[in-house]
């Protein structure tokens, strides 16, 4: 049979979630994937990095165990074994998705799919020389690493992207990471914990520029003290082999007396990702926004019965956003009442540095910018300053007994941003292990517009680090 209710292009978190949901609802679904199921997240993103980072953390903990009364001598690691374990974890998860789609009777085709045309509201897709037809189309083609137009970057064997770094069989002797965003800082953590000298070059005045600045400062101070060379407000002018020519603003270079060139065995470039639009050329008139597919609140594009979910929509490039978008889109396609929506204001995010950073909702800076714009200069002055519109509560993580027991020498921070008048929770920002595991509780509060008083009525188990969310109220 080559006629389907839904054809999905791309088998990452968006694609396979949509396929499962629509198949479970009894619809005929076909999913095209040119590589392995699971997409970037499972194969060359979240899961492999977290597997390697866990290995690095085990090594780091073993070599820093003395403060807990444990001495381990001659601790070594085997990077090849870490890589092998990573591959096994990925393989098992990919096999799990395959089995689930199989159980749901979803057809999976391995190959590059190209949209041909639409005839009488039926979309025709070509893959491996076969033509398929579908009433609805969902584009979940994801994103790829962006290669900035820096002279000397292209076809340079010393230059890696995150996929190259994950595939490497050995560790580099030294590494320069261009881009101090999420990918850059996670790889900086991995290499640093495994003893590789690391330099991070970030164009903005701070690393992780979209996160709460106080939280980021704690990481920055810790990483610099630990020996990671982090250069901010610094751009790469050109690359020659494994040497980078830097361009720092004149003032900063005088102040910091930074060198104008840097060399390392490898240069990892992680300066963002771009939507994958190949194979979609026949979608005449498909509306784009900043190089990604423009979608509405139900992930509908401007073309009839064409949906797009995940990184290709360029909204928030996170796997959990992709899968939620897929749920919402399929719900809309199946006209499931009540129609669901995505709470973009309550998307949690985690950076797997050590310590971890986890956050949800608005940062203090975003709240300040919002009120400054809303109230204008006169309104702000009348109120006695922008601080009159919001409230910030902060606590070091050491207020949690469990944190104290398990994080010797660390202070961490939990920061809560409230609306001053309504006392609703606008954002929560944490640094300290394992904040990734309890940020979802804060997401509930932001998503449901809880007030501080309502959140305080939630009972948190003792002793857990999550209690900080109660203490801070």
Residues with catalytic roles: 462
Q: Write the interaction track for ligand NAD spanning residues 300-319; mark x where CB under 6 A is met and - where it is not.
A: -----------------xx-
Given a contact cutoff of 8 angstroms between Cβ atoms, the answer to whether 174 and 265 are in contact is: yes
Among candidate residues 352, 354, 349, the one with its CA nearest the CA of residue 223 = 354
Q: Which of 181, 279, 361, 434 binds ligand NAD (CB under 6 A)?
A: 181
Span near ligand NAD by CB under 6 A; candidates 98-106, 343-351, 385-393, 396-404: 343-351
Q: Which of 115, 351, 465, 469 binds ligand NAD (CB under 6 A)?
A: 351
DSSP assignment of 150-168: -TT-TT-TTEE-HHHHHH-
Regarding 235 and contact with ligand NAD (CB under 6 A), the answer is yes
The residue from 270, 301, 323, 354 that contacts ligand NAD (CB under 6 A) is 270
Q: Is 153 in the site for ligand NAD (CB under 6 A)?
A: no
Question: Is 148 among the residues that bind ligand NAD (CB under 6 A)?
Answer: yes
Task: Give the contacts of 148 (CB within 8 A, at least 6 positions apart).
Answer: 236, 269, 271
Q: C-beta of 328: minimal distance to ligand NAD in Å? A: 20
The C-alpha atoms of residue 299 and residue 307 are separated, in whole angstroms, by 6
Q: How far is the CB of 211 from ligand NAD (least distance, A)?
A: 10
Interaction between residue 178 and ligand NAD (CB under 6 A): yes
Contact at 8 Å (CB) between 302 and 291?
no
Single residue of 134, 153, 175, 350 touching ligand NAD by CB under 6 A: 350
199-207, 355-363, 368-376, 422-430 -> range binding ligand NAD (CB under 6 A): 199-207
> In this chain, which of 21, 27, 273, 315 binds ligand NAD, going by CB under 6 A?
273
3-state helix, strand, coil in the chain (%, to 5): 40, 25, 35
By C-beta, is 163 or 302 nearer to ligand NAD?
163
Contact of 200 with 180, CB cutoff 8 Å: yes
Helical (H) or strand (E) element with 373 = helix 364-383
For the bound state, the minimum distance from the C-beta of residue 172 to ligand NAD, rounded and expressed in Å, comes to 19
| CA–CA dist 227, 175 (Å, integer) | 13
Q: What does each C-alpha distance from 142 to 41, 43, 281, 292, 301 come to in angstroms? A: 10, 13, 16, 10, 15
Residues in the site for ligand NAD, rule: CB under 6 A? Answer: 148, 178-184, 186, 201-204, 209, 235-236, 270-273, 317-318, 349-352
């Amino acid at each position: 049979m080559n006629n389907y209710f839904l054809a999905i292009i791309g088998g990452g978190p968006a694609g396979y979630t949509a396929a499962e949901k629509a198949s479970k609802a009894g619809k005929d679904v076909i999913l095209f994937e040119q590589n392995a199921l699971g997409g970037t997240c499972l194969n060359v993103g979240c899961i492999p990095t977290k597997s390697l980072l866990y290995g690095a953390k085990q090594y780091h903990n073993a070599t820093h165990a003395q403060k807990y009364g444990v001495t381990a001598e001659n601790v070594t690691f085997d990077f090849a074994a870490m890589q092998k374990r990573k591959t096994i974890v990925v393989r098992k998860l990919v096999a799990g998705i395959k089995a689930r789609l199989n159980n749901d009777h979803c057809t999976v085709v391995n190959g590059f799919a190209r949209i041909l045309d639409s005839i009488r509201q039926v979309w025709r897709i070509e893959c491996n020389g076969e033509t398929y037809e579908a009433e609805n189309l969902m584009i979940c083609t994801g994103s790829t690493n962006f290669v900035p137009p820096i002279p000397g970057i292209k076809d340079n064997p010393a230059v890696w992207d995150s996929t190259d770094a994950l595939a490497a069989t050995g560790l580099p002797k030294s590494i320069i990471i261009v881009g101090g965003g999420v990918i850059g800082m996670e790889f900086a953590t991995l290499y640093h914990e495994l003893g590789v000298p690391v330099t991070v070059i970030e164009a903005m005045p701070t690393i992780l520029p979209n996160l709460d600045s106080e939280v980021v400062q704690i990481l920055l101070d810790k990483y610099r003290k630990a020996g990671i060379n982090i250069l901010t407000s610094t751009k790469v002018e050109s690359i020659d082999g494994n040497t980078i020519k830097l361009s720092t603003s004149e003032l900063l270079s005088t102040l910091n007396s930074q060198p104008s060139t840097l060399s390392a065995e490898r240069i990892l470039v992680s300066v963002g990702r771009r939507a994958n639009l190949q194979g979609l050329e026949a979608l005449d008139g498909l509306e784009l926004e900043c190089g990604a597919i423009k979608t509405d609140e139900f992930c509908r594009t401007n073309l009839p019965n064409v949906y797009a979910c995940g990184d290709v929509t360029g909204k928030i490039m996170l796997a959990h956003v992709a899968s939620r978008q897929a749920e919402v889109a399929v719900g809309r396609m199946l006209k499931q009442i009540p129609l669901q929506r995505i709470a973009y204001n309550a998307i949690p995010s985690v950076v797997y540095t050590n310590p971890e950073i986890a956050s949800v909702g608005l940062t203090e800076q975003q709240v300040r910018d919002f009120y400054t714009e809303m109230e204008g200069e006169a309104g702000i002055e009348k109120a006695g300053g922008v601080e009159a519109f919001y409230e910030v509560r902060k606590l070091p993580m050491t207020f949690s007994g469990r944190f104290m027991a398990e994080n010797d020498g660390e202070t961490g921070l939990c920061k809560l941003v409230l609306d001053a008048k309504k006392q609703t929770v606008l954002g929560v920002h944490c640094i300290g292990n394992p904040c990734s595991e309890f940020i979802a509780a804060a997401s509930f509060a932001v998503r449901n517009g809880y007030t501080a008083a309502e959140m305080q009525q939630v009972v948190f188990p003792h002793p857990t680090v999550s209690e900080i969310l109660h203490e801070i109220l």
